[in-house]
Structures are given as structure tokens and as C-alpha cells.
Amino acid sequence: MALILTTEDLKALDPPMSRAVDVIERCLHLQALGDLTNHPRVHLPYPPSGASQRRAGFGDRTLRILPAIVPAFDAAGFRVYTIGPRKSSEASALLILFSFEDMTLKAIINDTWLHYIRTGAPAGVAAKYLARSEIDTVGVIGSGRIARRAAEAVACVRKFRRIKVYSPNLEHRLNYAKEIGELLNVEVEAHENPMSVARGAEILITATNAHRPVYDGDWLEPGVLVISLAPGEVDVKTLERGQLFATWKQQALHDRPPREPFKTLEAQGRLSEFEEKCHELHDVVTGALPGRANDQEIITCLVPASSVWDPAIASWVHDLARAKGIGKEVPI
């Protein structure tokens, strides 16, 4: 019997962000131990050349798969999602979960809504281990669901007084300010440009669909932690100015299609310089490496998709849903 969980089921379940942050942190421990099997994201565009007027390398239609085996969560499985023409209400992402113990099917989960929790949660882990000792202001560039969940994740591990948010859409940033202010009980300011958001922020979260740098690295002030949740959002200057970490170095530096600024660095013959500079966040989580040396240091943490997180989150949600009697059991 497999448990089927729809978006409506997941919203009724309302998995707590604080526990999602714990799941991601535990996954990073497991990555450091090597007690799992991970695999880079499988990217299949059509046409095969990846030619596209929308985004280079993605073609007109794209199939992407992220597989992993995580014994500690009794989980083996993958996230599969598509990009292409469809109605917005139609499912485009699924989590397929098998039991590690006997490799039987445990769950099929609509991942359209849950994904925002999983993608935002790593920001909490990054903030816990890499942010400076005192936080007053969090800057957010982006106003979508990942930007919202990321701020929530940071609030689970750090206290702060204020959020500054920028989005090119006035209505979106005003809605963000209202909803996140009420959710987190903090002051939220909507700003008209990204520079004023970056200035004075101890943590700067970028969570956009721009696929290009969304701020200038020269704007960063001493002590800031930059958490980038989507590909291509940081520039070369940002990487040059301080320490560099990634939740999965291989995926961050060698994604396909290549993400900026590593595509530019590779063209300049400088990629190896940043391969040496970039450290794994899991080594900080386990204490194998120090994180922040002082409160003046600029640190960037890149958060690419990690295949491990998907079956781990799926297993956690599966267990929550069974305990609360949410979802539908289906023989397959």
C-alpha cells in the first residue's frame, strides 16, 4: 500500500518549518559521514540541444530527476519535475518514496507546495552555522514562496528585529511585507531597489527566478552572510570578497546547464581557484571545519538542489501524515 498525498493533504498537515530545518541539518551530518548515496541532478531537455528562447539549456520542455538513498530516514527515492507548457493547476513535481528496508513503494507525494518548505529550510541551517553572533536585519531579494519560507527558516534559528525586502513587482513586495510581518511578528519594510536591501543586512537571502546576479557584490557590508537559494544570483565580486560555502559543492560548481558565476569563471580559466576556495557546509555542521572566524567576515553560502533532501523530507512528511491519518492508501 502506498500513501498518496495531494497538495490539499499537505496544507492540512502543515509540516512545521522548525522540523524541516532539523531534517536538513541531519542530512548534512549524513553527507559528512557518507552514509547515503547521492547523485547530481539529471537534466533532460528537449530538443536535446537545449536551445530555448526562455532559458538557455532548458529547451522547450525539460525533465529533471534528483535521486538518492538515505538509510537513516528509511528512504530511497527521487524528486521528478517538468518544465514546459501546462496549466498552472496541473501537477509538475512529484516525490516518489521507497522504503530503504525492503525497497517497496511507500508514498507518492505532490511536491508543488511542499517543495517551498524543503527549499527554504536550508537557509535556516546556513544561518545557524554561518551568520554573525548578533542579527538585527535580514535582507531578502525576491518575494515568492521560497523567499517567504527562507525567512521563516532563519527565524527558527536566529532572532532578528527587521526584514527588508525587494522585488521588482510592487504588489508582490507589499504583500510579502504584510504576510511575513504577521507570520514572524517582525518589522518588514518593502524597498524600491536591491541596494537598499543589501546595505545594513547581517543576512542577505536571494530567492528569485532571475537566473542572473540580482545585486552588486560591492554593496555587501562587513559581516554579512549571503544565502543564495537559486542558480545564478551572485556575481564574481561576491565570491572574491569572503569565504565560500555550498550545501553541495559538486552541484553548485558543476551544475548542468552551468550556473553563474561559475560559467564566467570557467571561461576566464579561474574555476579551479574557486573550487579550492569553496567548502562544504556539512563540514561546518559536524565541526570538521570552522565557519565564521569573526563578525566582520563576509560569507556566501550557495544552496543548490541536493538529491538527499527530497527522500528525507518525503519520509518525514509520510510519517507525519500516517500519524495524523491524512492522505489516501492505495494498492499499486
DSSP H or E segment with residue 72: none
CATH code that applies to domain 2-115+308-330 = 3.30.1780.10
> Nearest Cα to 247, choosing from 272, 274, 282, 276?
282
Per-residue pLDDT for 54 more than 80? no
**Under 8 Å between Cβ of 188 and 235:** no
Omega before 257 within 30 of 0, i.e. cis: yes
CA dist 92 and 111 (Å) reads: 8
Predicted pLDDT of residue 257: 84
> What is this structure's pTM?
0.95
* Stretch 55-68: mean pLDDT: 91
What are 1-14's pLDDT values in tens digits? 899 999 999 999 99
Predicted pLDDT of residue 85: 82
Per-residue pLDDT for 65 more than 60? yes
Per-residue pLDDT for 87 more than 70? no
* Stretch 279-296: mean pLDDT: 97
CA dist 23 and 19 (Å) reads: 6
Predicted pLDDT of residue 280: 98
Confidence at 89, pLDDT banded by 50, 70, 90: low
What are 144-198's pLDDT values in tens digits? 999 999 999 999 999 999 999 999 999 999 999 999 999 999 999 999 999 999 9
What are 106-120's pLDDT values in tens digits? 999 999 999 999 999
Fold of 121-302: Rossmann fold (3.40.50)
Average pLDDT over the chain reads 95
Whole-number percent of the chain with pLDDT over 90: 90
Q: DSSP of 34-54, one letter per residue?
A: T-SEE-PPEEEEESTT---SS
What are 212-226's pLDDT values in tens digits? 999 999 999 999 999
Predicted pLDDT of residue 90: 59
CA dist 309 and 69 (Å) reads: 10
Confidence at 281, pLDDT banded by 50, 70, 90: very high
Q: Please count the residues of the chain.
A: 332
Confidence at 45, pLDDT banded by 50, 70, 90: very high
Confidence at 332, pLDDT banded by 50, 70, 90: confident
Predicted pLDDT of residue 91: 57
The domain ranges of the chain are 2-115+308-330, 121-302
* Stretch 227-236: mean pLDDT: 95
Comparing 2-115+308-330 with 121-302, is the CATH topology the same? no
